[in-house]
Structure 1
Amino acid sequence: MSKIQEFIRDDIRKNPELKEQYEQVNLNLDASILVREMREDLGMTQKEFAKFVGKPQSTIGRIEAGSMNVSIGLINEIANAAHREVKLVLV
């Protein structure tokens, strides 16, 4: 277990209400990676990609920065516009 994982585990033990916030941050970071990889696979800048998927560049930037709480619906819209498919996996 990494130091950050230990910190998060201990922080949640002390403050159980933080668990949901940590989970949201994790989802935001996963979405960040997915959107950036999709954009880079297409060889586009954020501005080009935003226009391609019909979203503001600021939205794409916030997603890629991990600072936006992203819904499955929004990820699905972006994926569909980029001719990709979203598959959910529970682990």
Structure 2
Amino acid sequence: MNLISKLIQEDIENNPELETLYKNQDEKLEFAMRLVELRKEIGCSQKQLAQKLEVPQTTIKNIENGDTRPTISLLKSIANVTKK
């Protein structure tokens, strides 16, 4: 277990209500990293991917920044566009 993981675990042990918050952030980070990977694999900028998905570029930015999670319908659209 690395230092950050240990600190997070200690924080959760001291404040059990934080576990849900950490899990939500972890999920957002997973979505963010995967979307960046997919976008780069297909050679698109955020703007180009947004146009293909017919969503504002800020939607892609917010997902990639970990500010929000994509909806199920957006995940389906991403899968269709990226063929992944």
TM-score (norm 1): 0.82
SS in structure 2 opposite 1:62? helix
Q: Assess, with a 3 A threshold, how the Cα gap between structure 1 residues 71 and 45 changes in structure 2: closer, same or farther.
A: closer
Percent of matched pairs sharing the same residue: 34
Q: What is aligned with 2:10?
A: 10
* Count of aligned pairs between the two proteins: 83
One-letter amino acid matched to 1:23 = K
Q: What is aligned with 1:89?
A: none
Give the distance between the partners of 1:21 and 1:10, measured in 2 at CA: 14
One-letter amino acid matched to 1:52 = K
Give the distance between the partners of 1:13 and 1:23, measured in 2 at CA: 14
Alignment gaps of 5+ in structure 2: none
Q: CA deviation at 1:55?
A: 1.6
SS in structure 2 opposite 1:26? helix
Q: What is aligned with 1:63?
A: 63
Give the distance between the partners of 1:72 and 1:47, measured in 2 at CA: 19
Superposition map of 1:1-91 within 5 A: 1-68=1-68, 70-71=69-70, 73=72, 74-84=74-84
Q: CA deviation at 1:72?
A: 5.7
Structure 1 residue ranges, 4+ long, deviating more than 3 angstroms after superposition: none
Give the distance between the partners of 2:71 and 2:55, measured in 1 at CA: 15
One-letter amino acid matched to 2:78 = I
Give the distance between the partners of 2:38 and 2:48, measured in 1 at CA: 12
Alignment gaps of 5+ in structure 1: 85-91
Q: CA deviation at 1:71?
A: 4.6
More deviation, 71-80/43-52: 71-80
